[in-house]
Chains A and B, each alone.
Chain A
Amino acid sequence: MSKKLGKLALASTAAIALVATGCSKDNKEGAGETVTITHYTIDSPDRTFVEKLVPEFEKAHPNIKVKITKAPYEQFDSKLQSSIAAKNAPDVTSHWGYGGFMEYYNKGMLMDLTPYLGDFKASDYNIPEDVMNIYKVDGKTYGIPLNSYVTVMLYNKDMFDKAGLPYPPTDYEDKSWTFDKMVEYARKMTVDSKNLAEAQYGVDFGFGERDQRPQYFGANVYSDDTWTNGGKPSKVNLNEPAVIDAYKKIYGLIWDEKVSPTPAFSKSVSGQFGDPFLSGKIGMSVVGSWSLAAASDFSFNVGVAAVPQGPNPNVRSVLYVDPLFVLKDSKHPKEALEWIKFLIATEIQEKSIELSGGNPPVNQAAAEKYYSNFEGIAPEQLKQVFEGAYKYGFESYNHLISNYSQINELFINELASVENGDKKVEEVLPGIQEKLTKLLERVNKE
Chain B
Amino acid sequence: MSDLSLATGEPPKRRRRKADMAQIIGFLILLAVTAAMIMPLWFMLSTSLKSTKEMLAYPPSFIPNRFEWGNFKELFANSELKFGQQYWNSLIVAGLTVVGTVLSSSFVAFGFARYRARLSPFLFMLLLSTLMLPYPAIMIPQFLLFTKLGLHDSLLPLILPNFFASAYMVFLLKQFFSSLPNEVYDAGRIDGCRELRLFWNLTLPLSGPVLATVAIFSFIWSWNDLLAPVLYLDSQENFTLPIGMAAMLSSKFRIAPWNLMMAASLLSVLPIVALFAVAQRRFVQGIVLTGIK
Contacts and interface: CB of A to CB of B under 8 A. Distances in A.
Contacts of B197: 3
Contacts of A17: 96, 100, 156, 159-160, 163
Nearest to A196: B58
Contact of A85 (B140, B151, B254, B255): B140
B59 A69 contact: no
Contacts of A25: 150, 152-154
Contacts of B163: 17
A75 interface: yes
A16 B163 CA distance: 13
Contact of A21 (B159, B200, B252): B159
Interface in B198-257: 200-201, 204-205, 226-227, 230-231, 234-236, 238, 243, 246-247, 249-252, 254-256
A75 B5 CA distance: 75
A71 B129 CA distance: 33
A13 B162 CA distance: 13
Nearest to B226: A75
A86 B100 CA distance: 26
Most buried by A among B143, B159, B236, B255: B255
B289 interface: no
A67 B236 CA distance: 12
B99 interface: yes
B231 A82 contact: yes
Q: Chain B's interface: helix, strand, loop or mixed, by majority?
A: helix
Q: Which of A24, A274, A293: most chain B Cβ within 10 A?
A: A24
A294 B152 CA distance: 35
A82 B143 contact: yes
Contacts of B151: 23-24
A93 to B, nearest CB: 12
A13 B163 CA distance: 10
Contacts of A275: 254
Interface of B: 56-59, 80, 92-93, 96, 99-100, 103, 139-140, 143-144, 147, 150-156, 159-160, 163, 196-197, 200-201, 204-205, 226-227, 230-231, 234-236, 238, 243, 246-247, 249-252, 254-256, 258
22 contacts: A1-B200, A3-B197, A13-B99, A13-B100, A17-B96, A17-B100, A17-B156, A17-B160, A24-B150, A24-B151, A24-B152, A43-B247, A43-B252, A72-B249, A82-B139, A82-B231, A88-B152, A196-B58, A196-B59, A271-B249, A272-B256, A278-B255
